[in-house]
């Protein structure tokens, strides 16, 4: 059996990820902020919602859960312990394992965007390559805004993800790739991998296709927030901010602040 993962577009730029084993009618979705497109797909294809994975408490990630629970009363909902999430059957912490559709996911706590943020990582098997559902922590060529955590906290979370297997497929929750790449090129204009990624991603979006999943390898080569230890990034950030080159954490904080106003 093989695992299939496909996006369900929602809102302006969200992706709700759907997992399915071959043609088994039981499926799982990740971060269903809107129930409407999920229910439409499930109904059209005769699928049953078995489980839901939640990464954090923001409304565009949990807003559709209650309606999906009403439609599928047996659905199991997994997510982080959070006073702002009231729909869970199972609360999860660092290094716990959750099995959905026969796939074993390890829980990674990745605070910064929110304090409760977790990610789900599955090592490679004969059914699938390594898989990462990372919500709003790591984006293609970018990272989430720091709403509840601190810069050191967010950097540590990103470093945890950057150390995963290079072939890991990265399924983040938003189609922000082109905007992120424009900023990445401002931070590292001479990065040839980055230039190639911009050209490829532009063609993909012109064809109205998702730029995701990415891979950890591509992120380590082209994502400036995973490259703050590189001298070229530190120098560019220092020049932009008018300060001397400092440590990686300070570079990351200044880079994130630059992106917030880019």
Whole-number pLDDT of residue 64: 98
Whole-number pLDDT of residue 186: 97
User: With 90 as the cut, is the pLDDT of residue 181 above it?
Assistant: yes
Measure CA 100 to chain center.
18
Whole-number pLDDT of residue 40: 98
Domain that holds residue 191: 3-260
* Rounded average pLDDT over 40-59: 98
- Hey, which residues are catalytic here? 56, 58, 60-61, 113, 136, 174
Give the C-alpha separation, 243 to 30, whole Å. 41
User: Cα dihedral angle (158, 161, 165, 168), rounded to 10 degrees?
Assistant: -110
Whole-number pLDDT of residue 258: 97
Whole-number pLDDT of residue 237: 96
Contacts of 135 (CB under 8 A, 6+ apart): 31, 55, 56, 61, 113, 117, 118, 119, 144, 172, 173
Whole-number pLDDT of residue 244: 83
DSSP state letters, 62-94: HTTHHHHHHH-TT-EEEEE--TT----SEEE-T
Whole-number pLDDT of residue 84: 94
pLDDT digits over 206-218, tens only?
999 999 999 999 9
Into how many domains does the chain fold?
1
Percent of the chain clearing pLDDT 70 (strictly above): 100
User: With 80 as the cut, is the pLDDT of residue 45 above it?
Assistant: yes
User: With 90 as the cut, is the pLDDT of residue 1 above it?
Assistant: no
Give the C-alpha separation, 200 to 53, whole Å. 30
Give the C-alpha separation, 18 to 244, whole Å. 46
H/E element holding 48?
strand 48-53
Sorting pLDDT into bands at 50, 70 and 90, what band is 59?
very high
For β-strands 97-100 and 90-92, DSSP reports them as unpaired
pLDDT digits over 78-98, tens only?
999 999 999 999 999 999 999
User: With 90 as the cut, is the pLDDT of residue 245 above it?
Assistant: no
Is this structure's pTM higher than 0.95?
yes
Q: CATH code at 49?
A: 3.60.15.10
pLDDT digits over 118-162, tens only?
999 999 999 899 999 999 999 999 999 999 999 999 999 999 999
């Amino acid at each position: 059996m093989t695992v299939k993962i496909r996006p369900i577009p929602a809102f302006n730029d969200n992706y709700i990820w759907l997992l399915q084993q071959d043609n088994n009618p039981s499926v799982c979705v990740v971060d269903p902020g809107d129930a409407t497109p999920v229910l439409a797909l499930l109904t059209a294809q005769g699928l049953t919602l078995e489980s839901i994975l939640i990464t954090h408490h923001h409304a565009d990630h949990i807003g559709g859960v209650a309606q999906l629970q009403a439609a599928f009363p047996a659905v199991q909902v997994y997510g982080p312990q959070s006073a702002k999430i009231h729909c869970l059957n199972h609360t999860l912490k660092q290094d716990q394992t959750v099995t959905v559709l026969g796939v074993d996911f390890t829980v990674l706590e990745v605070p910064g965007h929110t304090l409760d943020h977790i990610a789900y990582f599955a090592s490679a098997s004969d059914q699938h390559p390594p898989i990462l559902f990372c919500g709003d922590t790591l984006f293609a060529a970018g990272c989430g805004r720091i709403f509840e955590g601190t810069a050191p906290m967010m950097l540590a979370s990103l470093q945890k993800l950057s150390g995963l297997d290079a072939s890991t497929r990265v399924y983040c929750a938003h189609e922000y790739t082109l905007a992120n790449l424009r900023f990445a090129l401002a931070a590292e204009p001479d990065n040839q991998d980055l230039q190639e990624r911009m050209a490829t991603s532009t063609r993909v979006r012109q064809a109205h296709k998702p730029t995701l999943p990415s891979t950890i390898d591509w992120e380590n080569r082209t994502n400036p927030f995973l490259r703050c230890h590189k001298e070229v990034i530190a120098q560019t950030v220092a020049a932009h901010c008018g300060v001397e080159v400092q440590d990686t954490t300070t570079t990351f904080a200044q880079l994130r602040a630059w992106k917030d106003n880019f």
